[in-house]
Amino acid sequence: MIKRLYINNFKCLENFELPISNQPSSLLIGPNGVGKSSVGEVLSILQKIARGCNRVGQFATPKDFAHNRSNLPMRFEIEVDILGESYKYNLALELPEGFKEMRVTEEMLSYQGVEVYARNAAQVTMTRTKRPDIQSKRPDARFLVDWHLVALPIIQHDSEADPVYIFRNWLTRMLILAPLPTYISGDSESDTLSPRKDCSDFGAWFSGLLAHSPSAYTDIDSFVRRVMPDFEDIKNPHTGKESRSLYVQFRQGQASLSLEFKNLSDGEKCFFICATVLASNKAYGPVFCFWDEPGTYLSLSEVDQFIMELRRSFHSRGQLVITSHHPEAIRRFSAENTLFLHRQSRLEPTVVRPLDTLEIDDDLIESLILGDVVP
């Protein structure tokens, strides 16, 4: 669970802190251009780093500075609770005058309040693992890292119980989703538990989940049957030596129909994505999921069940954050776990306020349509 996410000098987010601590599910609402998707971009940056993308220029560019204000560092800070233990990671990036590529000026990872490593410019200082259940073989050490490289992906871990490994793995397994169903074919040539943001590798994610936990199929089947009553089965046969392709079987009475996954509608593909999110949270969670506009491809009658299933799954384990403009999605959240993002103009930074701290006289949806919700 994310306890704290702080962002400064990134696009429209200046001195911005997302108040989602202790909230199993949260909704981000507000007009276009206030930074809802930018929050997801920051999470994607942290995830790219954990997955091995360590050159700064591969995930951040000078145009990402707020109002081109490159004289101040861009800063990301995240604190997470993983199975009851606290991990904090800070990263600050700068663009010195005359440079074309950004570089790291500060970086730090701590576990249970004790630094695992700290960095100032190119100098990295690592401390001995402080976990009482681990006899670390890694002595305190100092070494240099190129200013343009982030240290987190390249630090070696002693074991799967090492805080560096646990934190990186947690970031890697985050589900940062903004599906583009048109690009989802259901074909795969490998397995993964770390899907792409657009879910274009859904077939590999489905294969990876069932390889990791075959019982997850029961959870997928259960959800899809509730939203698609004629669904009978989904198969993932080999279509080549190392390739697979998803096929979905439907049945009504004696009639049956088999469709390649790529031929499903956009909304139907989203049902399967949702089912896989639910099954993943149960199989290898608790996971953190950020889903940008999950109701985009759904009809009005489908959004309610879709959102409520997600919220129920994450109520007791993991954490869910979604963004939405959809009235039915907004109605499925209460005021205390809905966050309103707003800025007066593009020249001002975004502010975020819990909805229950704002005075709203009329119906929330009507107030949003009229633009009457102002922090």
Alpha carbon distance 22, 36 (integer Å): 20
Give me the pLDDT at residue 361, please. Answer: 67
pLDDT score recorded for residue 239: 92
Could you count the other beta carbons within 10 Å of the beta carbon of residue 235? 12
pLDDT at 171: 97
Per cent of the chain over pLDDT 90 is 78
What pLDDT is attached to residue 128? 64
**Model confidence over 259-296: pLDDT tens digits?**
999 999 999 999 999 999 999 999 998 999 999 999 99
Round to whole Å and give the CA distance between 106 and 94: 9
More confident residue, 216 or 241: 216
CA nearest to 341, candidates 26, 61, 100: 26
pLDDT of the residue at 17: 96
Q: Is the pLDDT of residue 144 over 60?
A: yes
- Report pLDDT digits (tens) over 42-98: 999 999 999 999 999 999 999 999 988 999 999 999 999 999 999 999 999 999 998
**What ranges do the domains of the chain cover?**
175-307
Provide mean pLDDT across the span 234-254. Answer: 94
Q: Which two tokens stand for residue 91?
A: 């990263």
Quote the radius of gyration of the chain (alpha carbons, Å): 22
End-to-end Cα spacing for the chain: 27
pLDDT band, residue 139 (cuts 50/70/90): low
In the chain the beta strands, taken as DSSP E runs, fall at 2-8, 16-18, 25-29, 74-82, 85-94, 103-111, 114-120, 123-126, 141-144, 175-177, 187-188, 231-235, 244-245, 247-252, 255-260, 288-292, 319-323, 338-342, 351-354
> pTM for the full model?
0.92
- pLDDT 10s digits, 165-209: 999 999 999 999 999 999 999 999 999 999 999 999 999 999 999
Label residue 360 by pLDDT band (50, 70, 90): confident
